[in-house]
């Protein structure tokens, strides 16, 4: 979307801030950003925001060569919890979802490594530091090239959603309105 927008409007400067979904939501709430693309948290009250769902996101567990004994198998979350798990840090929507997934199955999990980046989680899984909890979209290239594989689970991980937030009480500048139109495919 950014590339398309930049092609259509090469003279408009785009300022991008990459933070966790809760931080981005807070920045939007304070009026520090025009819009935010976030992982939707079903526990958050978005009453001050217009929310447009952009896509469904699938969370998966991935492992590298060190965990090849799990390839082409299906294991339970209880079995998986015995391995070194790598996840995003606390106070991210992805981490909240991870914790909730294990709590729903009465499993107390203490991740081995907590990071602030999905890319780092993928890299750490590749070098064998553990099994990472990431989105399928983020790991797809690594899975296709064979440096990672998706670990089959007996339990189904519910889908999550990526959403576009705009503030209901703060008008969007024309440039941001145009960007939203590009993202939503309006008029193109």
pLDDT tens track for 25-75:
999 999 999 999 999 988 788 999 999 999 999 999 999 999 999 999 999
Model-level pTM? Answer: 0.84
pLDDT tens track for 70-112:
999 999 999 999 999 999 999 888 999 999 999 999 999 999 9
Q: Which two tokens stand for residue 84?
A: 């070194």
pLDDT tens track for 106-151:
999 999 999 989 999 999 999 999 999 999 999 999 999 999 999 9
Q: Which residues pair with 160 in a beta bridge?
A: 57
Picking from 70, 73, 74, the residue whose alpha carbon sits closest to that of residue 84 is 70
Confidence band, pLDDT 50/70/90 cuts, at residue 188: very low
Q: How far apart are alpha carbons 97 and 186 in whole angstroms?
A: 31
Q: Three-state SS for 83?
A: coil
Strand positions, DSSP E, 48-177: 49-57, 59-63, 74-75, 85-88, 113-115, 131-135, 149-150, 152-153, 160-167
Note the pLDDT of residue 9: 93
């Amino acid at each position: 979307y950014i590339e398309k927008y930049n092609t259509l409007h090469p003279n408009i400067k785009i300022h991008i801030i990459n933070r966790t979904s809760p931080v981005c939501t807070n920045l939007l709430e304070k009026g520090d950003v025009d819009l935010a693309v976030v992982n939707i948290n079903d526990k958050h009250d978005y009453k001050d925001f217009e929310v447009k769902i952009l896509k469904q996101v699938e969370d998966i567990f991935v492992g590298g060569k060190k965990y090849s004994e799990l390839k082409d198998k299906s294991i339970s979350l209880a079995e998986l919890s015995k391995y070194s798990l790598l996840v995003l840090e606390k106070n991210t929507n992805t981490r909240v979802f991870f914790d909730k997934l294990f709590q729903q199955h009465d499993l107390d999990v203490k991740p081995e490594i907590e990071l602030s980046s999905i890319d780092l989680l993928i890299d750490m899984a590749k070098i064998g530091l553990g099994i990472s909890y990431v989105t399928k979209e983020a790991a797809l290239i690594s899975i296709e090239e064979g440096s990672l594989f998706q670990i089959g689970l007996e339990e189904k991980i519910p889908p999550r959603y990526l959403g576009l937030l705009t503030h209901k009480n703060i008008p969007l500048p024309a440039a941001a309105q145009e960007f939203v139109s590009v993202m939503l495919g309006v008029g193109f």
